[in-house]
Every structure is written in structure tokens, then in C-alpha cells.
Structure 1
Amino acid sequence: MQQRALPGMVTAAVITVAMSLPAQAATDAQKSFSPYAGRDYPTQVLFGDVHVHSGLSADAGGGGTRLMPGDAYRFARGDEVISNTGLPLKISRPYDFLAVTDHSDGMGVITDILKGAPNIMADPYGRELNAAFNAGGMTAKKAMVGMIARFAQGDVPEALNYQPGNPAYRSAWEDTVAAGREFNEPGRFTTLFGFEWTSLVNGNNLHRVVLMRDNAAVAEKVEPYTTTPPVGSPNPRDLWKWMQDWEALTGGQMLAIPHNGNLSNGWMFPLVDDFNKGKGLDAEYARTRQRWEPLVEVSQHKGDGESHPLLSTDDEFADFETWDIGNLDLSEAKTPDMLSGEYARSGLKRGLELGSALGVNPYKFGMIGSTDTHLAASTAREENFFSKNTPEEPRPERATAVAKQNKELGLVRQGWETSAGSLVAVWARENTRGEVFDAMQRREAYATTGTRIRVRFFGGYGLDAADERRRDIARVGYAKGVPMGGDLPAARKGSAPSFLVAAMRDPDGANLDRVQVVKGWLDDQGTAQEKVYDVAWSGDRVPGEDGKLPPVGNTVDMSVPTWTNTIGAAELTTVWTDPDFDPAQDAFYYARVIEIPTPRWTAYDQARFGIDLPDDITMTLQERAYTSPIWYTGVSR
């Protein structure tokens, strides 16, 4: 007869098995039974946009944008909205987080201009803008471009120069904060408070997005800082001082994110202090900039700023969405000597050189993307391109229209050059304001050019080939190394760092072509060098005699347009060891993930509107992601 165990009764068989196990082994098995117990590293990748303008920004509202901060948040969380030109508009998938960051200079003025407030109508230029902006369309666009040009040259009338303390200024900020408070849903959708500090010195772009970690009660305590003296300043040092004072006053936390260095004409990553008669930078500048600016927005609708083909001559992927004819308002033409002060990779290299000289690296930054949309609707996908300014919302002629020009200098920028926009991704423990901010602060963040590629990047000395086959990539990476944004410890004698990179395609996007590691280092003469390594790729391609990997191919069908994922790979993972490592040389490493070719927004416009665009217009592209770097500090031999 079979013996049955009654509730609470232990059978002899159970006793026998239990007694056959070593007591310590049984205890250890119990302690480690759940592989997730005690895990405290970030496990969620969150996608969002931290550079969005609503109708409260003077240039956006002047150009016809009537959607406000609340509309921007509704759209980002997945709601359908009616665009500023009356078209239904919806995002493909909700974002995880968003920041509405309207311009601080002139905050609130556009509302008074549009309604014809007495102080505006008393000024001749105010009356001119009131008429043009209310007329809408291209009339409003022309007036808006002219207003930006006057702001760039410091020629805004006092009546329009709204500053903190102005009732309309305060009201606009309160409206922004109220929208962020209303739409924040911890765990589902995060809103961050911020603004854009719009430093524009003689047309040279030095803009920063300023973000806050804190809640609405803290954000309301102080109105945003501007660039116009005597209340504000265009000097980044003064912005950093204001941020320090704000933190001391409120107990909150802030960071600033430079963007569009490609339109700064060499000013974004300087070797000298352009605000102090060109004197050399000092250690205080380096420490302060590193403290307040942990990230750079490397890609957005006004072009990609990772690198330039004249700076990275051996990099066949360096010429991507390139804007290089002049500064922001095209008041000055671009010259080749300006480029190294504009692009992120050259900025990182300059950081190594300055760090060696000053003892502190001022350009130790991670990389993110955003859209810089002025529609209050953040779209970054090519097939959902709504431009980034209301006058260029979908219409047949927008690709060939003149977006901006300087006839005297012969500089012209056409509509097709506008990019669809980019996104920021962060690795966080949960979707909350603090977690998103902290991920950006520690640089565990990366940029994509609109796609939602998932990328992990770790560096360390204990990583080996077996780790690339593990499915628990993060567990291995955090246990054996440091994540993107981190610092490698000093190398042991005879060792070289290895890097674990794992990339997975956007579930709704294209397959992956390849994964690359971009390295920058200081040579024995103290000059920064760079090299791009192909470390993982799809298919059975073999590098040629020149070391270059053959192209992945192209499946784009321009008649639809569409593409197929019959080439490329859904995911690529590898452990790569630096074959050229020198323990005495300072270095940085970041991963670049590149998709197979897909249609650009211009291809979709051509098909949808039934038009033939000129042959010189770019019709396909290879979307990509850039991780934040990992740094290594050299040790003496």
C-alpha cells in the first residue's frame, strides 16, 4: 500500500533526501534560488524627448503653433491630437518620458503679441509682429525668421524683451509647470520640468536645455534664467552660477544639456574662453562645466552632431544628416577650422587634451538625442515626419522650399535638409522623475536618431568571449565592469580592457547592419587620435584588404516606399578587446549601432504627394544609436 503524506507530515523519503544534502549547500541554494533577489542595477530602457517647444515659445507661437504644454504631454503619452494646421496626428508608440522646454528669453511675450497687448501695440516692431503672426502661413514664418535673426544679433526692442518678474513671463512658466504636474504618472509616464537657455552670440548657437529633477512645488519657486543682460547672460559660466544658486535656494537638482554644436561655428567645445578675450581655459571652467553638463544632445532635427567627414576622414558613416554651411541664423559662413569645436567626437577628443593640461576634463559628457520640435508634438519616425515648425507641416513643396538663406553670403538651406528628429534613451530602475534624471546625471543614457534600438555597453577587465552568449547581459556587465558613462579602473600589468556590447533592433524597425566601437586616445605627444572598429556585424561579410567591412546591402523599395528585413540581424552581441591598448594613454570608447538602409521622410513625401524630387535630395538613410562613452585614465609606465 502506498503511503500518503498528511498535511504537515514529512515522509521518510523526504527526510532521506534532505539528510543526503550538505547542510551548507542547501542553505546556499535557498538564499540564491531567485536570480533576481537583491538586484539593484537598472533593468528598464526608457525612451523619450527632453527638448520640446510649445506655442509658449516665441518662435514656435509666432510661426503658428497653437498647441500648448498639455497638448505636448497628451501627444507623447499616445493620445491623438489635431496639429497646428488641422491634420490628425498621433505617435507610433507612447514615450516613457517628456520635457517641455520652452525658450526662457521672451517667455510669455508671444501671448501678448498675438492678442495685441497695449505695450506691444505701442511699439512699431510689436505691431508688425502682431499683424504678421496673426496672418499665419508663410507671412508668419518670414516674420518669425526675422525675429530670430534680430534676437541673434541682440536687436530686440525693450518692449518685447520679457524677463523674470514680468507678469506674462510668470504666467507662462506657471502654465508650463501646471501641465507637467497634471500629466506626470509615476511608473507609466514621466514629465520633467525645464526650459531652454537660448544663448546666441552673433548667431553662434550655444543653447542649453536645463532640466530639473524635482517636483512642481520646487520648479515654481524660481523663474527660468535668460540670456539677456542685465537680468540674464549669454555666458555659460553665468548659467552655471545661476544653477548653483538655484540648487542652494530650493534644495533641488539641475543639469544642462548643450545642443547643436554644429551651428556654433566652433564655439561649443572651445579651447579658449570666447567670453574672456580668448584667454586659455582654466581648471575651474573644466570642473564647473563637467559638474553641470554631463550630457550633450548630439542629434536632432537641425542635423546630426556626432562627427563630420572632414574630421573623421576614415569613417564612412561620419557624413550623416550633416548641416555645415553656417551658424544658426546663417549670418556667418562655416569654415573648416571651425568644425573641431562643434562635433561631439572632436569635443571628446579635445576633452582628453584639456584634461591632460588642466587636470580636469571639461568635455566628459554622454550623448543623447531629442527632436527640438516647435510643434508641441514630438515625432521622430521618418514616415511620421511633420517637420518641426508649423509652416512646414505636410505639403508637397516643403522639401524643395527655402528654409533659410543669406543672399549676401550665398548661403541657402532647403526644407529637405531638416531631419526627422532623435530620441534619448536611459537605463533606469523605474519610470519616475528621479530615476530618469539620475540616469542622465550618471550618463547611463544614449542617443538614437529616431529609432528605438536597445543598447547595452559595458567595459571591464574580466569580460570574455563566453559572456556574449549569456542572456543575462546586464548581470554580467555590472558584475564584471562599468556601464556606459562610467570610468574604467587602472589596467593591471599586461591586461587590456574588453567591452561587452549588446544591441537589439527596434521591434517596429529595421534590422541591424553592424556595431562599432569608436575610440579616442592621447598619443605619446599628447595629441588626440581616433579610430572606428567594426566589432559585430550581420551576415557572413569579411573585411577587405583595407580593413573595411562591405556594405550590408539595400532592400528599400522607393515606389511604396518600404524595406524588408531580409538582410541584417535582429540583434548583435559581442565582447571586444582593444587590440591597440596602451595603459599609459588616456582614452574613451563608445558604441555606435547602425541599422540597414531605410526610406527617409523625403521618400515618403515623394510617394504620398506623387511628386518627383531632385536627384540631389537624400532619400534613404541608416538610422543609428550612439552610446555614452566609457573613459580610461592612463597610468605612467
Structure 2
Amino acid sequence: MTKSFATVSQRPLWTLACLAVLTATSVSTQEFQTEQGSTDVVLAPDDFSPYAGRNFPQRPLWGDSHLHTSVSVDAGTMTRLTQEQAFRFARGEEVTTTHGLRAKLSRPLDWLVVSDHAEMYGLMPQLLAGDAEVLATPQGKAWYEALTAGDSQLAFDTAMEIVASLSDDVPPIDNPKAIKHAWEAYTALADSFNEPGVFSAIIGYEYTTEGANNLHRNVLFRDGRDRANQTRPFSQYDSKNPEDLWAFLAEYEERTGGEVLAIAHNGNLSNGRMFSLNAYDGSVLTQEIASLRARFEPLYEPTQIKGDGEAHPFLSPDDEFADFDTWDAANLNGTELKQPEMLAGEYAREALKRGLKIEQELGVNPFKFGMVGATDSHTGMATAQEDNFFGKHSGVEPGPNRWEHLVIEAPDPELSIYGWKQAAGGLGAVWATQNTREAIFDAMQRRETYATTGSRMGVRFFGGYDFTDQDAASRVPADAGYKKGVPMGGNLQASPGGRAPNFLVFALKDPISGNLDRIQIVKGWVDADGALQEKVYNVVWAGDRQLDENGKLPEVGNTVDVENATWTNTIGASELITTWQDPDFDPNLSAFYYARVIEIPTPRWTAYEAKRFGIEMPDYVPMITTERAYTSPIWYTPG
């Protein structure tokens, strides 16, 4: 008879060693003589292990593509944390903040981009150190003397003057050598912290243009310093036109053989300009410009400290989750009041719909982007967790009054932004095959990424035509996902017979965050009359709730104890998985689909702050949040 593996495992070690030798001699099932003399078949074929031969991503890699240190001109006027400390903090080490607080992440990150501003790159550390090249310029000498005079008010006023100079058309200090030295010091540092398989230190910077209207981009390199040093950070002083940035990146790739991409962010503060239907100068959008954007901007950052930009209630009135961490009063500095017609050019969902329309007209979709979250922290610390939030900048570290601190002072006080408005987010999840710069960059290029507001929930999303309920019962849904369909960020072609696509979606809770409330699939399309349409479907949820006649789902409940800044995971689910087929599918219409995962309510950072410092905040300050994830879309194209 054939013995069980349990029986074999109890044999002496020398017998198991013999089995290992036999296994190595052949790829087929082997027969051999047992000690009793009988012939037993005990070895399985070579593909017994379900993990053998897998080449698809096994887990999401967590990181931040948008972090500033003392090297950024604005951050450097307040924070003293260096680029080295930023990498150490991201890797899980404890650091001391600018004002002496001890800080550490609950869990290390897998990758980080220190994306300091390109404008006058490295100026503040050079100024404070009395760098000879900077002091050789008249403005540099004047600023240095003011900062080191021992007059705190003068130092503050000078710092504000330096930050304000970022709005000038020409740099007040034009010193290419100083920028080159700062850039090369950074790329060398990133290479020294880059440890393939353990931690990826991705080289990058932020191109900060149209400051008030926030057309900013983070530029990421696939390569190390050998290639990155063949260029320099492209800044608004080179051009305020993002189209010129894309041309600059194209020239870099052609000249060096390297690869680079850009991630736009905070369209919610652009007053309609981030996803405009026109070119930067207001002229008609051309195929060439649309193609450049599609080539160099495969991702968008829909959530971070300065609010959430996935959807807006004015644009999506039927979406009860659209009004989340909304900043919609004005542009970034409060100088231009927001008008309703601007909103369509600011939010990710509307941009995805606009992209389908543009593709019908130009043959290319400039807004075919995936999702990735980031912090935009200017503290040198990538802190996106609600109970570990260190805010936008080091000028106001955690304390009893930072919730009411004036973050953005607008000419109209009603448009000013106060500390409580800041969001403790977000994070980027990348489905890369390994933790290397190259694999993470490649995953970003194919848009196999998702954004969260800070939680580290695991999310899978696949589209195809042949998913079954059995696939949703699997403990490894990605097996069917990659075999039968395309992952998030992918493209679906029309199926024979015009069958509707179906989707396999799975979410696993963050072990230290809230349980899961529901998974929704958001669909956008252009109808037969050319109008932009959208619909949010609840596809799987926790508990025994039932959809109403409009497809809406009752609330999951709320276990948050605001006074003690805690909650219980007695509602919600630890994981959710399902297959879903579009019931309203028209094979002749282009469409996109993405998944949105919602957690049960948990305490917001303001609740933790109130408890720690024993303070009471006004009723208008939100104390509860619902963490969420947005996957990259899957696009359907007819024909």
C-alpha cells in the first residue's frame, strides 16, 4: 500500500535524506524499496508545491513616493531631518524629530522616494552650513547673515521670504554647481540605502510648478546614480509648463538609456487645471501632448495630507462616500475661490472619464493612470497612520494646539486652512515581483498599484471573462486572476460574442486597523450620446445587510469610543472576496472599472490628539474616519 506523507515524515533522518536524493534524480513519481521490502509510491511530481514556478507578485510592497526633508527649500526652513534620517526612519529605525520628540513607524516601509523640491535643490542645508558657493551669491550672503544673526524674528521673516521666492519667475540664487553637488550627494545616499530584496531607495524629486494652482509632479527614476547623475532636477525655473517637463524626461531617456516617470498630485487644489481638456497654454489639446502625458504619467496620487482627490460629492451626488477629507474652498494658497465648474478638472474619477472621451477624439488617453497614495510630509518622516501622524511640516509638531494651527492663511479668512483639516495619509501599495528599484518601477509602469489613506489592507483586483464562484473560494485568488484575466492597471479587449466582463476582487484587513465594511466597484464610461457616466456598485460586504432598491447598503455601524480614541472590531469582516459581472454592460462603449475598499469607522488623528493632550475640540472637527483603498482601474476597449 502507499504510505501517507505523515508516516514518511516519522522515519529516521537518514531515510528522509535518501528520499531527498531520489527526488533530485527525476521529475517524475519514483518507486523505491521500503525497509519492509514493499514497493511504495511516495514522491509526488515536481510541481507538487503550489508555489513552484510562480512569477507573479506575492504581496504588496508598501511605500511613500512623496516625502520632503531639510533639502527642500520650504521644508528646510522648519525641519532639520536629513535625507539620511528619512531613509532610516522609513526602514524602521527610531529618529528624534526637529523639536526633540522620539518617532518610529509601527512597521517599516518596503520602499521610499525622497522627493525634495527641484527648485534651488539643497539650498537650506547649504545656507545654514555657510556653503562657499552659495555665499558667493549676493542673495545667498544676505540670507545667511539674516538666518545666523541670532534674531529669531529676523530668521523667521527670512525663512518666509525664502519660501515666497519659490513663486518668482527666476531663481533668486542661480547656482547650478550647488544644485549639482546636492543632487549627487542625494543619489549617492540613495544608492547606499538601496538593498535589493530588503528595501528600495528610489531616486526622485518634485517638480513644483504653478504653486498656487498645484500642478506639481514627483519624478521617479528606475536607475541608480550612474544614470540619474547625467541629469539634474527639472524645476519651474526651467519652465512652468508640465509639457516641457515631459519633453525633458523624453530627452533624458533617449540620451541615457534610463527610464523615468512622473506622478501628479493634488489636482483638488488646481482649480480645474490638473485635468484640463486643453493644453497648458489653453490651446487645443494635441495628440502629441496627450501621448507624452500618457507615456510619462502612468500614475496619479489621489490621496495625501492635503486632502482626498478620488471623487467629489458635486460630481458624484449618488456616492455617499465621495465627501471624504475634502479640500474644495480655493486653490492651494487661498487666492482664488473655487467655482463648481472647476471641480471636473480636479478629481481622479472625473479625469478617468474625461480620458475615455479624449481617446475617442485623439486616439490616445492622456488620463489613463493608476492610483498610488503618498504623504507629502515635509517633516522627513513618512507617517500616514492616524495614531502616529506628525503633520505637514515641523513648524507644528504634535501638541495641544496644532489642530487649530493656521496651515494656509488666505486673504479671505473663510478660505484659510487649519491644522485639523489635514489628512493623515496616504500610502502606496505596489504589486512588484520583488523588492528592487527595477521591479517596483516596472509595476508602476504597468499600473499594478493601489492607493490607501494610510491603512495597509491587502487588495487584489482582476478583470476577465471567465471567473467563477470557485475562483472566489480559493485561498490564492491570484492564481486564477493572472491565468484568466488581467490585474489592476490592465486592459480588457472585447470578448467574442460581446460577453460582459467579470471581475475577481479580494481584500484582506490591515491587522492593526479596522475590519472591512465593503468592497465597491466604480465604473465610468462614455454613453452612446457622448455623455460621461459613472456608477458605484456594492459588490461584497460584511454582515447580513441587504441592498435596497437603489443598490445602496445600510451603514455597517460604528464602535468608535472617541473619548478614549479606540474602537472594537466587533463589526465588519477580516476579509472580503467575490466575483462580479457588470449588469449594465454595453460591448460598444469604452469603460473603466476600479475597486474601492472601505473600512469600518475608526478614530481619526484628531481623536488621538484630543485624548493624549486632554483637550476638547469643537464639533466641526471630525474625530472619526473611514480608511479606504483605491485600486488602479482596468479599462475595457471595444473592438
TM-score normalised to the size of structure 1?
0.91
Q: CA deviation at 1:603?
A: 0.7
Q: In the superposition, relative to structure 1, how do residues 301 and 142 fare at CA in structure 2: closer, same or farther (>3 Å)?
A: farther
Partners of 2:319 and 2:256 in 1: CA distance = 46
Q: CA deviation at 1:151?
A: 2.5
Q: In the superposition, relative to structure 1, how do residues 555 and 100 fare at CA in structure 2: closer, same or farther (>3 Å)?
A: same
Q: Which residue of 1 aligns with 2:71?
A: 56
Select 2:54's aligned residue among 14, 29, 39.
39
Partners of 2:311 and 2:149 in 1: CA distance = 40
Partners of 1:126 and 1:492 in 2: CA distance = 71
Q: In the superposition, relative to structure 1, how do residues 123 and 434 fare at CA in structure 2: closer, same or farther (>3 Å)?
A: same
Partners of 1:322 and 1:455 in 2: CA distance = 24
Structure 2 residue 195 is matched with structure 1 residue 185: yes
Q: Residue 84 of structure 1 aligns to which amino acid in structure 2?
A: T
Select 1:227's aligned residue among 236, 240, 247.
236
Q: Which residue of 2 aligns with 1:245?
A: 251
Partners of 1:132 and 1:173 in 2: CA distance = 23
Q: CA deviation at 1:167?
A: 2.2
Cα displacement string for residues 476-499 of structure 1 (whole angstroms, at most 9, x for unaligned residues): 100110000000121221511110
Select 2:315's aligned residue among 311, 317, 321.
311
Identity rate, percent: 51
Q: Residue 327 of structure 1 aligns to which amino acid in structure 2?
A: N
Comparing 556-565 with 542-551, greater Cα deviation is found at 542-551
Q: In the superposition, relative to structure 1, how do residues 336 and 117 fare at CA in structure 2: closer, same or farther (>3 Å)?
A: same
Aligned residue runs from structure 1 range 394-405, under 5 A: 394-405=398-409
Structure 2 residue 329 is matched with structure 1 residue 325: yes
Partners of 1:386 and 1:136 in 2: CA distance = 27
Select 1:210's aligned residue among 196, 208, 219.
219
**Residues 100 and 176, structure 1, Cα contact 8 Å, conserved in 2:** no
Q: Residue 541 of structure 2 aligns to which amino acid in structure 1?
A: W
Q: In the superposition, relative to structure 1, how do residues 381 and 135 fare at CA in structure 2: closer, same or farther (>3 Å)?
A: farther
Partners of 2:71 and 2:302 in 1: CA distance = 25
Partners of 1:482 and 1:14 in 2: CA distance = 52
Q: CA deviation at 1:191?
A: 0.5
Q: Which residue of 1 aligns with 2:565?
A: 561
Partners of 1:410 and 1:129 in 2: CA distance = 36
Aligned length: 612
**Residues 595 and 630, structure 2, Cα contact 8 Å, conserved in 1:** yes
SS across alignment from 2:357:
helix
Partners of 1:383 and 1:242 in 2: CA distance = 41
Cα displacement string for residues 333-364 of structure 1 (whole angstroms, at most 9, x for unaligned residues): 11111111011001101001101111111100
SS across alignment from 1:576:
strand
Q: CA deviation at 1:122?
A: 7.0
Partners of 1:242 and 1:615 in 2: CA distance = 49
Q: CA deviation at 1:30?
A: 2.1
SS across alignment from 1:44:
coil
Structure 2 residue 454 is matched with structure 1 residue 450: yes
Q: In the superposition, relative to structure 1, how do residues 142 and 367 fare at CA in structure 2: closer, same or farther (>3 Å)?
A: farther
**Residues 222 and 438, structure 2, Cα contact 8 Å, conserved in 1:** yes
Q: CA deviation at 1:221?
A: 2.2
Q: CA deviation at 1:288?
A: 1.2
Q: Which residue of 1 aligns with 2:612?
A: 608
Q: Which residue of 2 aligns with 1:285?
A: 289
SS across alignment from 1:406:
coil
**Residues 32 and 39, structure 2, Cα contact 8 Å, conserved in 1:** no
Partners of 1:447 and 1:104 in 2: CA distance = 25
Q: Which residue of 2 aligns with 1:107?
A: 121
Q: Which residue of 1 aligns with 2:26?
A: none
Q: Which residue of 1 aligns with 2:95?
A: 81
Cα displacement string for residues 138-167 of structure 1 (whole angstroms, at most 9, x for unaligned residues): 986776555444423x366x533x45xx22
Select 1:159's aligned residue among 161, 165, 172.
172
Q: Residue 172 of structure 1 aligns to which amino acid in structure 2?
A: A
Q: CA deviation at 1:400?
A: 1.1
Partners of 1:403 and 1:315 in 2: CA distance = 29
Aligned residue runs from structure 1 range 579-594, under 5 A: 579-594=583-598
SS across alignment from 2:528:
coil
Q: Which residue of 2 aligns with 1:3?
A: none
Q: CA deviation at 1:124?
A: 6.9
SS across alignment from 1:588:
strand
Structure 2 residue 187 is matched with structure 1 residue 174: no
Aligned-residue RMSD, C-alpha: 2.6
Structure 2 residue 507 is matched with structure 1 residue 503: yes
Q: Residue 30 of structure 1 aligns to which amino acid in structure 2?
A: P
Aligned residue runs from structure 1 range 112-511, under 5 A: 112-115=126-129, 123=138, 127=142, 131=146, 144=159, 147-152=162-167, 154=168, 158-160=171-173, 162=174, 166-200=176-210, 203-228=212-237, 232-275=238-281, 278-408=282-412, 410-511=414-515
Q: In the superposition, relative to structure 1, how do residues 97 and 57 fare at CA in structure 2: closer, same or farther (>3 Å)?
A: same
**Residues 33 and 40, structure 2, Cα contact 8 Å, conserved in 1:** no
Cα displacement string for residues 395-433 of structure 1 (whole angstroms, at most 9, x for unaligned residues): 211111221122257521111111112000011111111
Q: CA deviation at 1:87?
A: 0.6
Q: CA deviation at 1:227?
A: 1.5
Q: Residue 526 of structure 1 aligns to which amino acid in structure 2?
A: G
Q: CA deviation at 1:218?
A: 1.7
Cα displacement string for residues 112-137 of structure 1 (whole angstroms, at most 9, x for unaligned residues): 43346686697579746863698798
SS across alignment from 1:30:
coil
Q: Residue 472 of structure 1 aligns to which amino acid in structure 2?
A: V
Q: Which residue of 1 aligns with 2:25?
A: none
Q: Residue 272 of structure 2 aligns to which amino acid in structure 1?
A: G
Q: In the superposition, relative to structure 1, how do residues 54 and 151 fare at CA in structure 2: closer, same or farther (>3 Å)?
A: same
Q: In the superposition, relative to structure 1, how do residues 133 and 295 fare at CA in structure 2: closer, same or farther (>3 Å)?
A: farther
Partners of 1:568 and 1:449 in 2: CA distance = 18
Q: CA deviation at 1:326?
A: 1.3
**Residues 426 and 440, structure 1, Cα contact 8 Å, conserved in 2:** yes
Partners of 2:636 and 2:154 in 1: CA distance = 53
Partners of 1:599 and 1:138 in 2: CA distance = 38
Q: CA deviation at 1:36?
A: 2.5
Partners of 1:32 and 1:306 in 2: CA distance = 43
**Residues 57 and 432, structure 2, Cα contact 8 Å, conserved in 1:** yes
Q: Residue 112 of structure 2 aligns to which amino acid in structure 1?
A: L
Partners of 2:625 and 2:397 in 1: CA distance = 21
Q: CA deviation at 1:312?
A: 0.7
Partners of 1:213 and 1:456 in 2: CA distance = 24
Cα displacement string for residues 361-382 of structure 1 (whole angstroms, at most 9, x for unaligned residues): 1100000000011111110001
Q: In the superposition, relative to structure 1, how do residues 407 and 418 fare at CA in structure 2: closer, same or farther (>3 Å)?
A: same
Q: In the superposition, relative to structure 1, how do residues 295 and 140 fare at CA in structure 2: closer, same or farther (>3 Å)?
A: farther
Partners of 2:583 and 2:117 in 1: CA distance = 46
Q: Residue 275 of structure 2 aligns to which amino acid in structure 1?
A: F
Cα displacement string for residues 296-336 of structure 1 (whole angstroms, at most 9, x for unaligned residues): 01111111110111111100000111111111222211111
Q: In the superposition, relative to structure 1, how do residues 187 and 137 fare at CA in structure 2: closer, same or farther (>3 Å)?
A: farther
Q: In the superposition, relative to structure 1, how do residues 395 and 169 fare at CA in structure 2: closer, same or farther (>3 Å)?
A: same
